Structure 1
Amino acid sequence: MVAPDRIDRRLIDRLHGELPLTERPFADVGLELGISEDEVIERLRRMLAHGTLTRFGPLFQIERAGGLFVLAALEVPEADFARITALVNGLPEVAHNYRREHRLNMWFVVAAESHEAAKAALAHIEQLTGLKVHAFPKEREYFVGLRLTAQE
């Protein structure tokens, strides 16, 4: 990972939670920051390529479109953690994955276009890993807003 410079940090802060809904949003953000539209786009591409950012894009309420988010967990043997992580993270339905200090030590979110596709993705993960997937479908939605600003 490449450490973000001052402009990268300002760009991340500016885009966290809000992209202008205009014809040229990156040009508008660039104008605010004193850089060009092309530089905004190139900086985002670079940060994504180097792992400074893991994702850049909108958040959707997938259930409103008939889809489903499922929080899931695996009990992964420590010696096999890296291999299982690569398998799980390699699936397009896996939104994110994180390690826990618990018997169920790998947690991830499956996002799918339908309930059937979510079930199929979870079954595929069991087949790929040889491990039982513990699925926890969302019963209620909470919004937790967390915004961390970069230090200059």
Structure 2
Amino acid sequence: MSNQINGFDDMNTVLANERKIGGVIESDYLRLSTGDEYNNVCITKVELIGSALCSIGCVTEDGQQLIVNAKEVSIIYQPQHKKIYELKNQAFKHTKMNQKKKYLKRLFELNNGSHNPVFLEEAMLVIEDIGLKNVKQEVDVSAIYSEEKVYTIA
């Protein structure tokens, strides 16, 4: 996936629509005006007051959660919308992967035996986001995503 993010509006849109489109925003590095630099930062929140940017929330490779005033941001280098399994930030990847697995387990519990289109679409989105290999370790997805099934698009 790895789609380029072109500004704070894009970041806000991706974060607001996470459930519909999946993925997260990861930047190669974030540099503050103080000179502090953080590699592989995941952006978790973009705070807007009206149309004015107020602050951004992010998680560093060490798992530190930062809330940074927008005026303190010097550069956010190469922000990209990525699937969770593609993240370089292992701390955030682990946290987000566990959240999505827990959500997927609950989704399967609530829809046990029912394969309505809404459930299938949401389950497939979560599976694509965290990777089938990672899901199979903890969740039985054979009912909707078996290796024997071949999906064709007409």
Question: TM-score band (shorter)?
Answer: under 0.3
Larger radius of gyration, structure 1 or 2? 1
TM-score by length of 2: 0.23
